[in-house]
Amino acid sequence: MTSREQRIADFIEAFRVEPGSKVKLGRDFDPAFRGTIKSKKEGRRLLAGGIELLAEYQSRLYAQHTHGVLVVLQALDAGGKDGTIRHVMTGVNPQGVAVHGFKVPSSAELDHDYLWRYGLQLPRRGEIGIFNRSHYEEVLVVRVHPELLERQNLPGNARGHGLWKRRFHEINEWERTLSRNGFKIVKLFLNLSKEEQRTRFLRRIDLPDHNWKFSSADVREREYWDDYQRAFSKMLSNTSTEWAPWYVIPADRKWYARIASGAVIAHALMELDPRFPTIDSDARQALLEIKKTLEAQSPKGAAADPFLAG
Ligand code: ATP
Ligand code: MG
């Protein structure tokens, strides 16, 4: 590991939810944490470095075409998911990235099992897929609002006692299958404080250009704050696994959340360590034969191989 890679690995350790540990959000994670990074300016420099690294790894991931990466983003409203995606993915080739947002399921989606619509949007090999909200809504919003579960038309044996534990288990197994088959899952929870959410809602009201972002539904959801904190804590306690651990990203400072998210994604790519494909000596020999033919076609006055000559 290079020293840059080691620094990234050390930096993200504080955000990782140890598999099997019992998380209580309010007690265990501080939304305003910023560790040793002193200023926004220093943060910006780090983010630029991280973005460069990400772009470099992504081009290798794309060329190698063996692994895919799924970034799962969860947050409370105004948690900064959109901004994180925009900033962290700036340097990467759009051809290798796909972002999918998940809203309230349609009736066609509700006609399938609860994981179906997420499976349809998984990244291909070589791609980084981003889920803006994800299958975790199925143990978050659906848990906080039991009437949503009613709409899922579940048979008797899939409801009732033990439902959430079972979903946690099913999600873990689904992710295990994906990860064993080449798809790395990076799970980020943007952890916002209640006071910072209030500030961001007010900002959306105060700035006319931001009014479109304001939704009174978000303010109604805020009334369920404690229920959400409990649901997130249970999700983190039950679905952080060796193959797909959760990272709790301090989100009260947007700039910090972006660096931290970028670092976790870069780290996942470092672990995959994709390489540009190389060819064997027979294939190389065949290329050299083709090269001879192309060189023989050089028009008068042109170099046999303008690339080497240039
Ligand atoms: P924005 O930043 O644009 O507000 P958003 O992700 O909040 O993005 P919205 O259209 O505001 O998008 O909200 C989507 C809503 O869909 C959220 O309230 C979310 O909880 C809800 N939702 C997502 N998945 C499910 C699901 N499986 N069941 C029920 N509701 C869901
Ligand atoms: Mg919203």
Sign of CA dihedral 64, 260, 140, 243: positive
Q: Any idea which ligand is nearest the CA of 218?
A: 2
Q: Which atom of ligand 1 is nearest to the CA of 140?
A: 20
* pLDDT > 80? residue 1: no
Instruction: Tell whether 79 and 221 lie within a shared domain.
Output: yes
Q: Any idea which ligand is nearest the CA of 79?
A: 1
The domain that contains 222 carries what CATH number?
3.40.50.300
pTM, two decimals, is: 0.94
**Tally of domains within the chain:** 2
Q: Which residues contact 240 (CB under 8 A, 6 or more apart)?
A: 16, 17, 18, 19, 20, 21, 23, 187, 246
Instruction: Tell whether 200 and 269 lie within a shared domain.
Output: yes
pLDDT at 157: 78
Q: What is the mean pLDDT of residues 45-73?
A: 94
pLDDT tens-digit readout, 140-186: 999 999 999 999 999 987 788 899 999 999 999 999 999 999 999 99
Instruction: Tell whether 41 and 175 lie within a shared domain.
Output: yes
pLDDT tens-digit readout, 216-233: 999 999 999 999 999 999
Assign 15 a pLDDT band (cuts: 50, 70, 90).
very high
Which amino acid residue places its CA nearest to atom 28 of ligand 1?
104
pLDDT at 5: 86
Distance in Å, CA 144 to ligand 1 centroid: 13
Instruction: Tell whether 186 and 287 lie within a shared domain.
Output: no
Distance in Å, CA 102 to ligand 1 centroid: 6
Instruction: Tell whether 285 and 150 lie within a shared domain.
Output: no
- C-alpha distances in angstroms, 79 versus 66, 96, 171, 201, 292? 33, 25, 23, 11, 59
Instruction: Tell whether 159 and 191 lie within a shared domain.
Output: yes
pLDDT at 158: 77
Q: Which residues line ligand 1 (CB under 6 A)?
A: 77, 82, 101-105, 132-133, 137-138, 141-142, 148, 215
pLDDT at 17: 98
Q: What is the mean pLDDT of residues 85-97?
A: 92
Domain span at 264? 3-278
Pocket test for ligand 1, best of 137, 145, 152, 219 (most atoms within 8 A of CB): 137
Amino acid identity, position 47: L
Distance in Å, CA 213 to ligand 2 centroid: 8
Q: What is the mean pLDDT of residues 18-31?
A: 97
Instruction: Tell whether 294 and 272 lie within a shared domain.
Output: no
Instruction: Tell whether 190 and 156 lie within a shared domain.
Output: yes
Instruction: Tell whether 33 and 9 lie within a shared domain.
Output: yes
pLDDT tens-digit readout, 92-108: 999 999 999 999 999 99
